[in-house]
Amino acid sequence: MNSFSQYIKAIGKGQRAGRYLTQIEAHDAFDQLLTGRASPEQAGAFLMLLRVREESVEELAGFVSACRKHLSDDYSQIDATFDMGCYSGKRRHLPWFLLAVKCLAAQGERIFLHGTTEPESKRLYLHDVFTALSLPISDNAQHAKNMLDQQGFCYVNLADCHPQLHQLIALRTLFGLRSCANTLARMLNPSQAPISYHGVFHREFDERHVQVAQLLNDPNVSCIRGEGGEVEVNPEREFIQHIARNGESQAVMFPTLLKQWQIKPRELTPHALVDVWTEATHDAYAQQAIVGTLATYLVQAKDTEVAKALTQAQDIWRNRDRDFYAHF
């Protein structure tokens, strides 16, 4: 029995005999996965057992620390102030958070966006949106820094900043199911930005993200149950923004921002983002999603009260430069 088998045995023996891994064990197990010391069969068994049982906070913290160990230092030198992982893709609505990111960048923040695509999910991913709108995609740290200097935000595919973790996510093609690798990518913070923002889909995962952040001593992490699981507010429901800041945890309640439910679009056309930005079209849902999302960024970065953050976000949106392609 090799050293990795003990971890499969620990989590796979069932409800009575099985156990959770310690944070140290979890770090070692995932380090073996990332470095190829576990066989493909072992990796598949381990990830799918975790999928059925779900990971503990300590296990997630160990997995994340192992993933960060194999990050290139190049991306930590680009001086990003916000890090946002975008891994769910959109199915019901466009990624309006991209327009909130543009607004935040205009306020002087430097936002590092990273994500991947899963074609079998039939969702619209940020990579697809950047391609459709002819926005630059960075494939190395220097280009990412240039984009931050030029426009205040950049997008990098996970395959270019952490190929090992990307390969684990790509195993969905074989399993037919996502693994915890998607969760870890959200928590990764490849740019080592002082502020990290996560979006999740499932209940209670938002709290779990900030608990992991506290175990890892991350300085400022927030997480919401975002629209489609992305870093975006759903304005049709109230929600809680969970924040871990300098060892303290906080739960910030946001009200429903759009009283009347809107009909979702029949298809997701990326160019509609440009039309809303330039005011060629008016979309009540989009505007509230953008303002609400921008407000959560302000709450996290500035510790601003919700009502004040919403007012500030509305002002920022109203006073934006309507030229979508300015600074590109």
146 and 205 fall within a common domain: yes
DSSP 121: G
CATH number of the domain that 286 lies in?
3.40.1030.10
CATH number of the domain that 62 lies in?
1.20.970.10
- The 10s digit of each residue's pLDDT in 123-148 is 999 999 999 999 999 999 999 999 99
216 and 141 fall within a common domain: yes
Q: What was the pLDDT predicted at 289?
A: 97
295 and 165 fall within a common domain: yes
List of the chain residues with pLDDT < 50: 1
49 and 164 fall within a common domain: no
Q: What was the pLDDT predicted at 204?
A: 83
Assigned domain for 151 exists: yes
234 and 142 fall within a common domain: yes
Q: How many domains does the chain have?
A: 2
Q: What is the pTM of this model?
A: 0.95
Q: What was the pLDDT predicted at 2?
A: 66
26 and 132 fall within a common domain: no
Q: What was the pLDDT predicted at 1?
A: 46
Whole-number Å distance between alpha carbons of 201 and 194: 24
Q: Given the structure tokens 């953050």, which residue do they identify?
A: 309
- Among residues 69, 85, 108, the one where a domain terminates is 69
- Phi-psi label, residue 157: left if phi above 0, alpha if psi -120 to 50, beta otherwise: beta
Assigned domain for 327 exists: no
CB 94 within 8 A of CB 273: yes
Q: What was the pLDDT predicted at 112?
A: 98
22 and 83 fall within a common domain: no
Stated as kind and residue range, the H or E segment containing 215 is helix 205-215
Per the structure, the complete domain to which residue 29 belongs is given by 5-69
Taking CA atoms, 262 is separated from 142, 232, 234, 314, in Å, by 42, 16, 11, 20
114 and 257 fall within a common domain: yes
64 and 81 fall within a common domain: no
Q: What was the pLDDT predicted at 294?
A: 98
CB-neighbour burial class of residue 126 (10 A; exposed 0-12, middle 13-18, buried 19+)? buried
210 and 282 fall within a common domain: yes
Assigned domain for 170 exists: yes
- The 10s digit of each residue's pLDDT in 175-231 is 877 889 999 999 999 999 999 999 999 888 899 999 999 999 999 999 999 999 999
